[in-house]
Amino acid sequence: MGYRVPSMPITANIWRGGAPLPVGPPQIVTKCQLRLIKDAFIISASVVPYNNRSLLILPKGTDIRSLQPGPLPADFVEVPAGTGIYWNVLTVGDVAKGFANEYRAATISCYSYPLPRP
């Protein structure tokens, strides 16, 4: 059995960076998959592990931009779309480049959770 493209059961909204939070409609709406990065723990002052980084799996060729390289700010992503949970894009790379199962992967860091409803 050959390798397959990962399933992408949820939707992400992508905005170009530059504002504290996204403004207006998203520039890109795409299918995706969200995965926890188990090794990306940040140790706080109380020495309690906290993870705010995840891996976003996207279709190959998706125009998503990271912090590096270049002078432009990174993109914002709302994933799952409509939740009000925003992420900064840290890195972007292609997986299985040149093969039928190619896809794009972005490391994202949680930027803002929705405010709780009263």
Q: For position 89, which CATH number holds?
A: 2.40.10
Domain of residue 66, residue span:
10-112
The model's pTM is: 0.83
In a domain, 117, yes or no: no
Is 3 within the bounds of a domain? no
Q: What value does the mean pLDDT take over residues 22-42? A: 84
pLDDT digits (tens, 9 = 90+) for 48-77: 444 578 999 999 999 999 977 677 788 999
Is 34 inside any structural domain?
yes
Residue-level pLDDT at 47: 43
Is residue 56 included in any domain, yes or no? yes
Q: Are 110 and 50 in contact (CB under 8 A)?
A: no
Residue 1 covered by a domain: no
Task: Establish if 2 belongs to a structural domain.
Answer: no
Number of domains in the chain: 1
